[in-house]
Amino acid sequence: MSISGIFPIDRWNFTTQSILNVLSEEDYNFLISNQTDHHYQKGDVIFREGTVPSGIFLVRSGKVKKYKVDQIAKEQIIYIANQGELIGYHAVLSEERYPDSAAAMEDSLVSFIPKEDFADVLLRSPVFMQRLLKALSHEFTVLANSISVFAQRTGPERLAIALIVLREKSKDEFKEDQEIVLNISRSDLANIAGIASENVIRLLKEFKNEGILETDGRKIMIKDIKLLVKRANYK
């Protein structure tokens, strides 16, 4: 079921999957001509906050989380990249160190693309540069909205919003007639919603009792998206 009209998903969700689609075949082949593929297991770190970037990364399969860690080692997940998405390009564009870290949420295949090739393609394709700037602008809007709203939301509302965004983010992995299944650890879900893991477990049970969702181990199936949106209390 679409949530268009009942939840402003564009304020919460962004993706870089469409950016590469504007490249010509020649420019795309040039971009990936010197790429190297790396297999990461769940939990493997792809890059760390504060290190100097030497390139960007293209998620070929699996899921990658971008996150920050505070002084007491608490993790805050700020984005989840799916297959076909680029990560690590912010630091390359700004010529600064990585502002966050990235790690595989599941077994993933990720291609490393040297920053020189990325920079050359930006010069070769003005359309690609425009699309990237548009994506960056929307990403800033989404992050600003998240910071503002999450600071004022209760635990149940935060979790509901996180589940809605994850559901929309996962839709492309399933056929139209298939049930969308979220396969995520409770700790990762807690780090997205910004609440304790024990509260996530308790709230999932509440949502299950209310008929909003079903669970099977790590898997979460949203059964009533309208009730979940109501739980998010987002206007």
Please say whether the beta carbons of 157 and 232 come within 8 A: yes
**pTM of this prediction exceeds 0.75:** yes
The mean pLDDT value for 32-53 works out to: 97
Say if residue 77 is in the same domain as residue 192: no
Q: What percent of the chain has pLDDT over 70?
A: 98
Which tens digit of pLDDT belongs to each residue from 74-92?
Answer: 899 999 999 999 999 999 9
Residues 120-160 have pLDDT tens digits of 999 999 999 999 998 888 888 888 888 887 788 999 999 99
Mark whether 23 and 133 lie in a shared domain: yes
CB atoms within 10 A of CB 76: 14
Give the CATH number, domain containing residue 65.
Answer: 2.60.120.10
| Confidence check: pLDDT of 213 > 70 | yes
Q: What is the pLDDT of residue 116?
A: 97
Percent of the chain with pLDDT over 90: 73
C-alpha to C-alpha distance for 212 and 174, rounded to whole angstroms:
20
pLDDT digits (tens, 9 = 90+) for 8-40: 888 777 777 778 989 999 999 999 999 999 999
On whether both 133 and 174 belong to a single domain, the answer is no
pLDDT greater than 90 at residue 187: yes
What is the C-alpha to C-alpha distance for residues 205 and 82, in angstroms, rounded to an integer? 27
Asked if 218 and 189 touch (Cβ cutoff 8 Å), the reply is: no
**What domain count does the chain have?**
2
pLDDT confidence of residue 235: 62
Domain endpoint, select from 85, 114, 148: 148
Q: φ, ψ for residue 184 (rounded to 5)?
A: -150, 140
Burial 94-127 (b: 16+ CB within 10 A, else e): eeeebebbbbbbbebebbbbbbebbeebbeebee
Domain boundary among 114, 130, 148: 148
